[in-house]
Structure 1
Amino acid sequence: MGTVTLLNNLVSVSDFNHGKASQTFKRVQDDNPVVVLKNNKPTAVIVSPDDYRRLNEAEENFVLYQEALERLKTMMASV
């Protein structure tokens, strides 16, 4: 995601609470994560359910990869 796209997908928590929620959800549906700012600091990221699932799967796969590497190291050390 480019910097310009990211900057276009920032929303303050006050804007979100004052009628911009539907606009925010529309952006998320268009596969654009939205960063919610509180006091000009990122406090939350809103992503689509599909993006959330993909991120969770990627994390699980990375953990499995790390476990496989550790097993390989253990096997190689015992040879």
Structure 2
Amino acid sequence: MVGLVLRALPFWVREPLLIVFGVVFAGFLFYVAVVRDGGWAAVGIGAAALLFTAIRVHTVRRAWQDRRREGGVTPGV
């Protein structure tokens, strides 16, 4: 159900939501690894979530730069 909602959202709404979720999730996993448990599994999953979020930030940044170069007009969006 969440996947269906995320696919229905436009790019400029979906991607910032994924970025915020990724940062919060990675922060929570690092907190669990350092303060609570100390397990390396949480650190690895947190690092993967942070990598996924960094890729999303890069994608949004590139799209934003391309849009600024084109004059802000995006047909069909």
* TM bracket (short chain): 0.3 to 0.5
Higher strand share: 1
The TM-score with structure 2 as length reference comes to 0.42
Q: Which has the higher contact order (CA 8 A, sep 6+)?
A: 2
TM-score normalised by length of structure 1: 0.41
Bigger Rg over Cα: 1
